[in-house]
Structure 1
Amino acid sequence: MSQRFQRLQDCLGYRFRDDAQLELALTHRSFGSPNNERLEFLGDSILNFIIGEALYRKLPEAREGQLSRLRAQMVKGETLAELAHEFELGGCLRLGEGEMKSGGQKRDSILADAVEAIIGAIYLEAGFDACAERVNAWYQPRLAQVSLDKPSKDPKTELQEFLQAKQLPLPDYQVVEVAGQAHAHTFTIACRVALLKQAVQASASSRREAEKQAAAAVLEKLRGH
């Protein structure tokens, strides 16, 4: 296994006994067959159950509809892609030449599918309890923030809905700077909205997180006004 794959396993907090299982989980259909589509199917089902149980136990007063909405927020592609970025998973993907050239290693849908496939692979190799322990550990910061007293929407969604309610243009996010080495980039994003004269900037280790932070800062300014 390459150093990159070893680092990925360190981020996952799980070391595969069979390296071929991890390679399969990271193999996109564009690379050929076999690929990770079956593992993705399995991982999706397991993830929904693990997060559903975690929410059920954390929020005993929540109704079925509330639990369903919170789970959907937790297991959606965007959240899975965020996890993939945290794991620096993109550089480990096995993609076909065309997909690689078109930036597939950064595409949210491909990253999200790979995370689900990894969950499926861990389940097959180590069983449900070990798989649930890892998934709950990955999601711990997000689960800790879950509450029925505050909205589960991320700041970008909140900002978009805030502006739409006022019939204003949607926010414009632009990359101002990408600094650091390839494995440790820092993205600086500027967010512009019609209600503010100046753009608001934020920096983070992923573009998505920087956009969220910028949106949160804009919301704070708007609500302050």
Structure 2
Amino acid sequence: MENEPAAGPRAPLDEARAEQLRAFLRQHNLEADDLSLIDLAFTHSSHAFEQGLSGDNERLEFLGDAVLGLLVSLHLYASHEASSEGDLSKLKAQLVSRNVLGRLAFDLRMGDLMRLGRGEEQTGGRRRFSLLGSALEALIGAIYLDQGLDAARRFVSPFLLNVHDTITQHEAYQDYKSQLQELVQRRLGVVPRYETTGAIGPDHDKTFSVTVAINGEVMGTGQGRRVKSAENRAAHSALTRLRQELGEAI
């Protein structure tokens, strides 16, 4: 657990508010030693200004942005073994975009817990993706400070993997399985063989690991929330390796 420097007066936290925050945390299998820190993540600067408070969620947003960036980078580094730095950076930018984070925060109903000033309230701040995305980053920062990096990872991982799979399965995303099969059949006269080598997590939230072998040799590995997406990543890994070995542009 980390220690947060003093941030000045915060919004008062009564028992009803505290129970709202506890209920939100329970939904995500989390707890908090310092609920006022979690509450701060939901405190917009407009509310702090109107109430004469010096504490709002902007410093936590700064921290949460860095924590989220680390968690996303670690996930992409592990699940895209053959991707270049440029490809990883492009996918990371998609995953942590303000629109994606705002949609996630909206789906988590974070707007219901926001402390907003009158102006933000009247202009639809509880539904504004830019505001909600910033609050989500602040919440990640608060969870990190209060419970550590593993807790932040547990909170982030489910929706991160869902968005990751959605992006990588989008119709504009490469169908690496088809590319691999076409290349292997044409150049080697065989077909790739995929094997699911593991599945971790509860039934409703599993992450699958897959290998792809050619002539009995494992050529690539991949992970995903669905077997198909894990297979596609394994195919991408194998394609990159074969491109080097066969000297063929893919």
TM-score range, shorter chain: 0.5 to 0.7
- Residue ranges of structure 1 left out of the alignment (5+ in a row): 153-225
Aligned residues: 153
Q: For 1:111 and 1:133, how far apart are their aligned partners in 2?
A: 20
| Alignment equivalent of 1:121, drawn from 116, 132, 142 | 142
User: Which residue number in structure 1 is paired with residue 110 of structure 2?
Assistant: 89
Question: Structure 1 residues 60 and 111 mapped into 2: Cα distance closer, same or farther (>3 Å)?
Answer: same
Aligned to 2:40: 24
Q: How much has 1:148 moved relative to structure 2?
A: 8.8
In our comparison, the structure showing a higher alpha carbon Rg is: 2
Q: Which amino acid aligns with 1:80?
A: L
53 and 119 in structure 1: CA distance in 2 versus 1, 3 angstrom threshold: same
Distance 1:14 1:138, change over 3 A: farther
| 1:68 matches 2:89 | yes
Deviation at 1:11, TM superposition (A): 3.5
Contact persistence 1:62–1:148 (CA under 8 A)? no
Aligned-CA RMSD value: 2.2
* Residue identity opposite 1:125 in structure 2: D
After TM superposition, the structure 1 = structure 2 runs for residues 75-154 of structure 1, keeping only pairs within 5 Å, are 75-145=96-166, 147=168, 151=172
Distance, in Å, in 2 between the alignment partners of 1:71 and 1:58 is 12
* Contact 1:8 1:87 (8 Å CA) reproduced: no
- Alpha-carbon deviation of 1:59? 0.7
- Deviation, structure 1 residue 146: 5.2
Q: Determine the C-alpha separation between the residues in 2 that align with 1:116 and 1:18.
A: 18
- Say yes or no: does 1:43 pair with 2:64: yes
Q: Which amino acid in the other structure matches residue 82 of structure 1?
A: R
State whether residues 90 and 106 of structure 1, in contact with CA within 8 Å, keep that contact through their aligned partners in structure 2: yes
User: Sequence identity of aligned pairs in percent?
Assistant: 36
TM-score norm. by structure 2 comes to: 0.56
Deviations 1:92-144 (A, max 9, x none): 00011111111111111110000000000011011112212321123122234
How far, CA to CA, are the matches of 2:119 and 2:169 in structure 1? Answer: 44
Q: Is the 8 A contact 1:26 1:92 kept in 2?
A: yes
What are the ranges of 5 or more consecutive residues in structure 2 without an aligned counterpart? 1-14, 49-53, 174-250
Q: Following the alignment from structure 1 to structure 2, what is the Cα–Cα distance between the partners of residues 148 and 67? A: 16
TM-score normalised over the length of structure 1: 0.62
Matched-pair contact (CA < 8 Å) for 1:39–1:120: yes
